[in-house]
Chain A
Amino acid sequence: MPDFSLLLTHGIFHILAALITVVSIFVVASKHPVKSAVFLVIDLFLLAAVYASLDSHFVAAIQVLVYAGAILVLFLFVIMLLNLQPEQLRGLKFSVIESGTLLISLIGLLIMIFTSFRGVQTGLGDGTLDVQAIEAAGGNTYVVAIKLLTSYIWPFELASILILLSIVAAIVIAKKDKKVLTSSPSGQS
């Protein structure tokens, strides 16, 4: 007898992959930034569906919650309200400082990923965990939770520092010091 659920999962994956490709092209090809953002939401939602079809329920939920639900809201806010016209976008370029910061943070991220994935000892057995093993150990979310809080404890705590840094950075960028604002005109006079 054919395994229907497996057949279905494979079929769904191929459909999703095709859809993601098409939507991704729309993201890049759309002239209007808001259209791109909305297509990106759909794209990320479909990506979550791929994770879900691979039985990574936790990653799927997080994908929707963080990317589609939170980060893209910020994107939309910024795009909608700055009201950049498509032609204005052409002239935008990364400055040296911006691209440098981007590069450094990318390298830092990579270092963090590599150090955290090297030589992992887990209580759940080494090697790949297949779907059955995860189900037997108590479900996807539980396994991710245990792994994160035992084997990956340092990246976990580092993440809090990362969030702290982002909080500070966001406020430094968005919230200008009132002292600086009032003193600079008087300093010139």
Chain B
Amino acid sequence: MNPYLPVLIVLIFGLTLGAILSGLAAFLGPRNPRPEKIEPYECGVPTVTNANEKMSVKFYLTAILFILFDIETIFLYLWAKAFPQLGWFGVSEIMVFMVILVAGYIYVVKRGALEWD
């Protein structure tokens, strides 16, 4: 049996459950919206501006660095899987890989890209 058939079952289940929970309130709860009630919550103060404001660039930087280090982690997984067959050759391979990436990491730290001040 295809091992992903259970994935499909779970996906359908998860989506249904989410949809049920999402739709339940519409049927069970009361519904009487007033302008004050549906206002976005801002600690009781009238809403000032739209919530879509420009955010700190650090979040994007984190996301970019995450992609790169994520890919690195995947390579490490592949290497770990092949490690028993590769032996010392594998160790040397990953050392080269690591040294290059650690250079990048040191650059990141030195440039202060990880500072959240």
Contacts and interface: CB of A to CB of B under 8 A. Distances in A.
Interface of A: 5, 8-9, 12, 49, 52-53, 57-58, 62, 65-66, 69-71, 73-74, 77-78, 80-83, 141-142, 144-146, 148-150, 153, 156-157, 159-161, 163-164, 166-168, 170-171, 174-175
Contacts of B3: 57
Given A71-B67, A170-B65, A171-B61, A8 B2 contact: yes
By secondary structure, the B interface counts as: helix
A174 B64 CA distance: 10
A66 B1 contact: no
B60 A168 contact: no
Interface string B67-84: 110111011001101100
Interface residues of B, number: 45
Contact of B63 (A74, A145, A146): A74
User: What are the 3 closest A-B residue pairs judged by CB atoms, nearest first?
Assistant: A145-B82, A74-B63, A164-B104
A81 B54 contact: yes
A43 to B, nearest CB: 15
Contacts of B61: 170-171, 174-175
Interface of B: 1-5, 7, 52-55, 57, 59-61, 63-68, 70-72, 74-75, 78-79, 81-82, 85-86, 90, 93, 96-97, 100-101, 103-105, 107-108, 111-113
A175 B63 contact: no
B107 A78 contact: no
Nearest to B58: A174
Given A82-B54, A157-B96, A77 B63 contact: yes
A164 B103 contact: yes
A145 B78 contact: yes
A77 B60 contact: yes
A163 B104 CA distance: 8
Contacts of A146: 82, 85
